[in-house]
Amino acid sequence: MRFNKFIYTTVFLLTAGTLTLQAQDKKTTEKKTTEKKAAEKKAAEKKAAEKAADDNKPVTEEIEVVRPYKPVLAEAVKLRRSPDLNDVKTYKARFNYSLTDRKLELNSDIDKLYAQDVAAEKQAEIVNNYVKGAFGSASTLLGEAYINMGRNENLQAGGFFRHFSQSGKLNGQKMNQQQLSVFGRSIGDKAILSGRINYERKGFYFYGYDESNPLRNPNPGKQSFNFIEAEGEVVNKHTEDADALSYAAKINGYIWGDQYSAKENSVVVNGYLNKRISSFNFGLAASGEFGNTKDVSTSVTNNLMRLNPYIRLQANGIKIAAGVNFVQEFGTVSKSRIFPAITADFTIIPDYLQLFGEIKGDVNRNSMKELTDENPFLNSNIAIKNSVDKISFSAGVKGTGGPGFGYKARVYRKEITDMPLFVNNYADFTKFDVIYDFGNTKLTGLEGEISVQVSDQLKWTGKINLEDYKPASERYSWGKPKVRVSSDLLFNVTDKLGFNAAVVIQDASNAKVYTAAPASPYIIPNPAIETVVNVKGFVDLGIGATYKINNKFSAFAKANNLLNTKYSRYLYYQAIGVNVFGGISYSF
């Protein structure tokens, strides 16, 4: 009993102590809660004030919250029923079906296509025709015209006309020249056909002037040449087949005559065949020249036949051609000759350096047309005789030194039999006879060419020839200068304005003057009746300018012999002094 009383007393005391502690804790908590609520209220008011302030500010940053994706999957339902391996009964499902009969509709036909009209394209204007006219000092008169068919590249036809005349201060120092040409070309599937017809007329006076005796030629004689030429050519069209047979054929004929009794006609036929097999070319070049020259007391039939079979190797920068040149003369003179025909070209540095060489021989058919082209002041009854290049050797280098720069240099040596020379006639010093240096004349020469093109606006070319003659029978090679230099300069300042310049320099030469009539026909010289006269060298400088007014009209001007040098290419024949002319050109 006492024990139970003790237990009850103890429980009561513990309960009372616990309640006392809870009462104290609750008072403290209420105090802290009150302070906490006051602080939270103050913080809330501050936060509200800040939020109100922030509401008036623009949002200046963006926060992106990225969280990993956590898929939530349902619990898998597993079938734990094992299959019955002893059940081999086949299960056949029942199908119910029916066939539907539908008509096949063909809608695959292509509708008709209609071409859509395209706006007509304006073709580029082709300006390949022009006419020009000019006049100036020295009674210069120039008229020129060129006409071409137009756009069709496979069929071309056109014509050209030119008139040029001048007169100097000397008595009879007048000349005029007319040229008329028509041409055509047709490009077919297999061959190219071309042809042309030319007419040329030259009129002048034998105005030879002797400074030591100005009255020696009071009434200069008049002379004129008429020349008509026709030519036709056929060439096979280029093909990519390297082993194809290539061919070409050309025929040329002309009629020439002067104001007096000299007449000449000629027909030249050329043919060419070539077949390539691997790196070799086998070919044959053949030609026939048939001509006749007549005057009052002379008549010469001069015909040549040439055959040139060859073999050419072309591989790995090497080109070598070896063959023979068989020449048959017949007519007034009949003789057969065989010459070597060998050429070689070695490429040392592609496009930059090439070495070349040649050994050949040939018969040069002289004619009145060629002789008067070189010296128009010829006498009547000129003796016509062929010259023979017995052996000719040349070697040199050529190539480029970069874009716009090209060069070529060669040395050559010739041995010429019966080389033609011009000498003044004894009875009429204003006319020239043609004599032939009886024997073998030896000629050694050096030739150099340079071309420099800085741009489309600036281009310069230059050429020099140095020649040394060792005559066979004559004391000098009459009228042959040792040095000849020529140069051309083109400079376009703008697309409209351009300038050009040309200079010709020639060394002095020697001329033969008779003190008595020589033997006729002339065979060998007679020093007892001959004197040597020096023909001075000269420098001829000319300049020109062009100005493009518009796409149709251009103006041009040219000045010749600016140094006003009274030089002579041939003894007693002075060139016209300084002369200036200008004009207008119209293109369409």
Instruction: Band the pLDDT of 33: cuts 50, 70, 90.
Output: very low
pLDDT tens per residue across span 180-220: 999 999 998 889 999 999 999 999 999 999 999 999 999 99
Q: Which residues pair with 434 in a beta bridge?
A: 422
Angle at 231 between CA 365 and CA 378, to 5 degrees: 40
**pLDDT over threshold 70, residue 425:** yes
If one compares 401 and 419, the residue with the highest pLDDT of the two is 419
In three-state secondary structure terms, 21 is helix
Q: What is the pLDDT of residue 533?
A: 96
Q: What is the pLDDT of residue 9?
A: 59
If one compares 265 and 93, the residue with the highest pLDDT of the two is 265
**pLDDT over threshold 70, residue 458:** yes
Quote the number of domains for the chain.
Answer: 1
27 located within any domain: no
DSSP assignment letter at 216: G
**pLDDT over threshold 70, residue 1:** no
- Which of 95-99, 300-304, 476-480 has the lowest average pLDDT? 95-99
In three-state secondary structure terms, 138 is coil
226 located within any domain: yes
CATH code of the domain covering residue 582: 2.40.170.20
Task: Supply φ then ψ for residue 370, to 5 degrees.
Answer: -70, -40
**pLDDT over threshold 70, residue 388:** yes
381 located within any domain: yes
How far apart CA 162 and CA 182 sit, in angstroms, is 12
- Which of 47-51, 148-152, 296-300, 526-530 has the lowest average pLDDT? 47-51
What residue type is 196 in one-letter code? R
State the DSSP string of 156-204: EEEEEEEEEEEE-SSTT-EEEEEEEEEEEEEE-SSEEEEEEEEEEEEEE
**pLDDT over threshold 90, residue 123:** no
pLDDT tens per residue across span 532-551: 999 999 999 999 999 999 99
pLDDT tens per residue across span 35-44: 555 555 555 5
pLDDT above 70 covers a percentage of the chain that reads 82
How far apart CA 207 and CA 221 sit, in angstroms, is 8
Q: Which domain holds residue 381?
A: 130-270+289-303+339-443+493-498+509-587
How far apart CA 306 and CA 15 sit, in angstroms, is 154
114 located within any domain: no
In whole numbers, what is the pLDDT of the chain averaged over residues?
Answer: 87
166 located within any domain: yes
Query: Of 427, 430, 425, which Cα lies nearest the Cα of 221?
Result: 430
569 located within any domain: yes
Angle at 36 between CA 35 and CA 41, to 5 degrees: 100
4 located within any domain: no
What's the sign of the alpha-carbon dihedral 412, 418, 422, 423? Answer: positive
What's the sign of the alpha-carbon dihedral 474, 479, 481, 486? Answer: negative
How far apart CA 465 and CA 220 sit, in angstroms, is 35
R_g (Cα) of the chain, nearest Å = 52
Q: Is the pTM of this model over 0.75?
A: yes
3-state helix, strand, coil in the chain (%, to 5): 10, 55, 35
Average pLDDT over residues 373-389: 96
312 located within any domain: no
Angle at 468 between CA 463 and CA 474, to 5 degrees: 135
Q: What is the pLDDT of residue 491?
A: 96
